[in-house]
Amino acid sequence: MRLHFFVSGALFASWGVQVPAVKLHYALGDQALAIAMLAAGVGAVASLTQAGGLVGRYGPRLVAIASGALCAVSLAALFMTHEYAVLLLLMLAFGVGTSLFDVSINAAASDLERLSGRTLMSGFHGMFSLGGMAGAAIGSALLAQQVAPTVHLVSASVLSLAAIVAAGMVMLRTVAGDTQEGQRFELALGLIAEGAMYDWSVLYMTQDLHSEPGFAALAYASFSAAMASARFGGDWVRERVAPAVLMSLSAALAAVAMALVLVVANPVVALIGFALVGLGFANVVPVLFSAASKVDENPAHGIAAVASLGYLGMMAGPPLVGVIAEHASLTWGLASVAGFAAVLSLAAPKALKA
């Protein structure tokens, strides 16, 4: 189970560190790159309309293996063509695979949390962040050694697929019946900002701060490492701090840290700032998914409901940054991260009914 979360983070990081290479390979402007990211978001949101039903019918185990395979295969093929239309299709498939994998493993995690009677969700998401940190660090090392992007992504995909299947063999086998749709959630703002960090932080380091590719890839690693450390301690914190208070203070930290990164515009300060942003966003998803799993007899329905809003946020965030970057600068585009985090800080008490 924890291995699935680790692999999910590693695959996401493998994509994240290669964003500049994708831009160069396909000769894209910021806006065209943003549209490719939008394709992944469209695939994610579209598949979430069926996610709860699929997990309810086939169980988290089978859905996790099938969707994880789709995610790995689509990522491996990214540099095997120069056709922009094919890139859009691959990103669409990547989005579908990522979202279904996300819902299935979170549904299984919520089952374990319920059966054990313990707070576990932050720890599972800590493994996602640890996977992101490892994926980014490995990607950074490979970039520094000038390893071809194709070799990197194919290797990462093959290893990830093997891990997905192996972990799936021992995954909790549960099948829940269909139930009514869970309640609506109003906190997509956090995932708008988080999605922008995943997709644009490395490019910001190379394009605006003129960092070497290997050093720039550490932007993703620092963000994910801080997220992982905060999430591994997140279950302890969540047992002692009200969800709305935790969300509000965390988002405020992310807003201030992101503003610091953009105002100072120094590579070392940026890495520190990205780490603080990671600390701020660390428990947004665990808090939301844990709450979502309790609003419906079938956890997958509640998780799919909140995940759909989250993926809408992740879909809207990166393209929004890209459009602003195309017409102003990437610095101004990333300023939206600070803005959304600030709004999230103010909105959390009402959204979580503090």
Q: Which of the listed ranges 124-133, 154-163, 169-178 does the model predict with the highest average pLDDT? A: 154-163
pLDDT in tens, 308-318: 566 656 656 77
Q: Cβ of 107: how many Cβ atoms within 10 Å?
A: 29
Which of the two residues, 199 and 165, has the higher pLDDT score? Answer: 165
Estimate to the nearest angstrom the gap between the alpha carbon of 180 and the chain centroid: 27
On the question of pLDDT at 176 being above 50, the answer is no
Tally Cβ neighbours within 10 Å of residue 82.
10
In the predicted structure, residue 36 carries a pLDDT above the cut 70: yes
CB contact at 8 A, 143 and 214: yes
**DSSP state, residue 42:** H
Which of 140-144, 266-270, 290-294 tops mean pLDDT?
Answer: 266-270
- pLDDT, tens digit, for every residue of 40-89? 888 887 887 788 788 878 888 999 999 999 999 999 999 999 999 999 99
Lowest mean pLDDT among 26-30, 116-120, 156-160, 180-184: 180-184
Residue 307: the pLDDT is 63
Q: Tokens in use for 130?
A: 């640890």
Residue with tokens 């997140």, as numbered in its chain: 234
Q: What superfamily in CATH does domain 2-175+185-351 come from?
A: MFS general substrate transporter like domains (1.20.1250.20)
Tokens 């969800």 found at: 243
Instruction: Say yes or no to pLDDT of 185 above 50.
Output: no
Q: What is the mean pLDDT of residues 155-171?
A: 92
Q: How far apart are CA 11 and CA 135, in angstroms?
A: 7
pLDDT of residue 71: 95
On the question of pLDDT at 351 being above 80, the answer is: no
Q: Is the pTM of this model over 0.85?
A: no
The mean per-residue pLDDT over the stretch 250-271 comes to 94
**Range in 28-42, 101-115, 178-192 the model is least confident about:** 178-192
Question: Measured between alpha carbons, how far apart are the two ends of the chain, in Å?
Answer: 32
Q: What is the mean pLDDT of the chain?
A: 83
Q: DSSP for 84-151? A: HHHHHHHHHHHHHHHHHHHHHHHHHHHHHHHHHTS--HHHHHHHHHHHHHHHHHHHHHHHHTT--HHH
Q: What percent of the chain has pLDDT over 70?
A: 84
Cα–Cα distances in Å, from 283 out to 266, 270, 345? 27, 21, 13
What would the two tokens of residue 107 be? 């549904």
DSSP conformation letters of 193-240: HHHHHHHHHHHHHHHTS---HHHHTHHHHHHHHHHHHHHHTHHHHHTT
The answer to whether the CB of 203 falls within 8 A of the CB of 329 is no
Percent of the chain's residues with pLDDT above 90: 33
Structure confidence at residue 179 (pLDDT): 36
More confident residue, 182 or 7: 7
Helix (H, G, I), strand (E, B) or coil at 342: helix
Report whether 144 contacts 151 (CB < 8 A). no
**DSSP label of 339:** H
pLDDT of residue 27: 95
